[in-house]
A and B are shown apart, each in its own frame.
Chain A
C-alpha cells in the first residue's frame, strides 16, 4: 500500500488535485513541515494501539484552508474527544476519517491518513467498504422514514448480511439501550420516536453493520439532558468493543466521557474572517483539563476563548 499525498479526492464527486500542482499546495509546504516534500512517501507508523492516524493532514474547501497540518493518533478501544470553538474544523477532521468529505464538491486534502495502516485517501481504497468499517452518528438524529426494524436492518441488508436479521436487529437495539422501549413497536415508523430515542436508533443502525470505529459528530447537541446522559452511558458501554471519536462543543461532556482529548483552535483569522483550524493540544483528558500545556487550550477550557 503506497500512501498518496492527496486525501479525499474521490473520482465520483471531487476533482483530484495533486499536492504539487495545487495552487494552494505551497501554503502548506511553505510551513516548516517535518515531512519536507509533501509528495514524499511515508510508511504508515507502526504504533500498535492506534486505529486512525493522520500526519500533516490539511483540508481545503475549494481554495480555503480549513485544517492545517493535523498530526494525531486515535487509540484503540478508547473514546477520543475533539473539542474547540466553532469553525475550527472538528467536524471536518472527523469527516476525513470515513471520507464523508468526498460528498462535498471542492473538498480535498493533503498529507497522510491511515486506518489500520491502510491509506484512507488512496484512490484504491473503496469509500463504501471503508464506511462500513467506520460508522458515523450525526449531529441531528436522522432516521430513515422507514420502520424501526427497517432502520436497523437497512445497512446490514445492503452490506449482504446473511445471518438471522431478527436476531441482529434485537442485538443492535439492545446494544444501543433502546430495545425495551421499542420491542413492541418495531413496525412503527422510526420518526415517531422522541429525539433521544431517534439518536439511539441511529446508533443501533450504525452498530448493526458491525463497524470497528464509530465517529460521532456532536451526537447530543440536539438532545435534552436526560437523553444526553443515556447516550453518554451507552458510549461508555461501547468502548470495550469499539474505538469512538466524538466531536463535542460541550467541555463537560468531553471531560465525562473521553479518555483522550484533542483541542483544535482556529489560527488567526484572515482578513475575510475565514478561519483555519490547527491542533493546539492532544493529551489524556484529565491532564488536558487540569494541566493544559498549550496556552490556547487553557484559555479555551477556562472560558476565555470560544
Chain B
C-alpha cells in the first residue's frame, strides 16, 4: 500500500497548466501557500476546538487551583497551598487508592475474559453475526441504567446477588459497607459493559492472524490452549496494549457507576467511610458540594497528572516490548 501513497514528483499540479503568462508569479505564491498551508488549515478545526474546550479550561483550572476560590468568587492568591493541603488529605489518598484498586479489580478479569470470548468467537460457529452483535449490546446500554439495575442486584435486603449466595448458605453481604464488596460490585458493572467491546477489538486482531500458523502448530501437536498462548496472544499484542491504555484512562475517570451504586442524597461521598469514592467523585464533592473551587481544581490537576504518569508508564513498557 505504502508505495501507492508516495507523492510522485513527475506530475505537477494540473491546476497550474491552463493559467498562462501574466499572473504567474502570484499564482506560484498562492499554490505554494496552498501546498504548505492548507494541510494545517484542514487540521485547524480540531486544534481550534481543542484550544477552546481543552487547553483553555486546563489552564484556567490551574489558575483557579492557585487561589482561595469559593462560592463568593475569587479570593486571595495562595500559591501551592491547595496542593499542599491535598497531599496531607487522607480522603484524597483514599480516593486514589480506591480508583487504582477498582482499576485493577475491573480491568484484569475484563481483559482476560475478553480474550477468552474473542478466541471462542474466532472459529466457525452457527449464528456468528448474532453472537458477535450480542456481545456488543451492553455498550449501547446507558451507564445510568446499568448502574440502577446492578445497584438492585447488589441490594443488601432484596438483591439477587444475596439471594443466590443464600442458596449456597452464605450470609447476606452488605455490599456498600466494605471496600472489597463494593469494589467487586462496581467492577462487575464496568466489566459487564466493556468486556464485549474489548473482545471485539481482540477478535478483529485475531482475524488478521494467518491461518497457516495454526495449521502448522496443529501439525506439530499443539492443543488449543497452547495455540492461544504461543500464537494468538503474541500476534495481537498491539490490540492488547491499546485496550490496556484505554481501560486505564476510563478507569481513572470512573464516576457514574459508583455514584449510582452509592444511593441516597449524599452518594457523592461514596459510602459511609468513603469505601468506594473515586478521585473524580472526590473532585466533584470538593468543588460542587463544598463549593471549594480552588481545592477542587487542585484535585482535577492531580487526576490529570496521575493519568499522564500512568500513560507514560504504559508508553515505556510498550517501547521496551518493541
Verify that A and B bind, or say they do not. no
